[in-house]
Amino acid sequence: QVQLVESGGGLVQAGGSLRLSCAASGRTFTWYTMGWFRQAPGKEREFVAKSGGSTDYADSVKGRFTISRDNAKNMVYLQMNSLKPEDTAVYYCAAVRGIGSGRFYTRDQYDYWGQGTQVTVSS
């Protein structure tokens, strides 16, 4: 059974940084695309970043967020710098078997999800 567990969320002031972690278990994730999504109150869950053969980011976080992974440890990270109040959301880790550019930008394409971790950025 695949399990994804996020950690690292919290309250931070605008301009600050946070590092989210996602611990994956139940599979060898080398050939999985790992993604980060977020959902703000009253909004749809949206793509933030992915890593699987290549990395890509939503335009709103490019240059500020960095996704990385350690396949040996089954860990995925999201380093978030220069945080803005509009980054406030619950952040979710997700996984899907398969890699490659041009794929896995929507939530319906992912098979496994974590429980989410709250990130709050105060102005």
Q: How does pLDDT run along the chain (123 residues), one tens digit per residue?
A: 889 999 999 999 999 999 999 999 988 898 999 999 999 999 999 999 999 989 999 999 999 999 999 999 999 999 999 999 999 999 999 999 999 888 899 999 999 999 999 999 999
CB 76 within 8 A of CB 123: no
Query: Which residue, among 46, 38, 53, has the nearest Cα to 6 in the 3D structure?
Result: 38
Which tokens go with 97? 């078997």
- Residue 102 CB-density burial (10 A; 0-12 exposed, 13-18 middle, 19+ buried): exposed
**Rounded distance, CA 62 to CA 86, Å?**
14
pLDDT of residue 27: 85
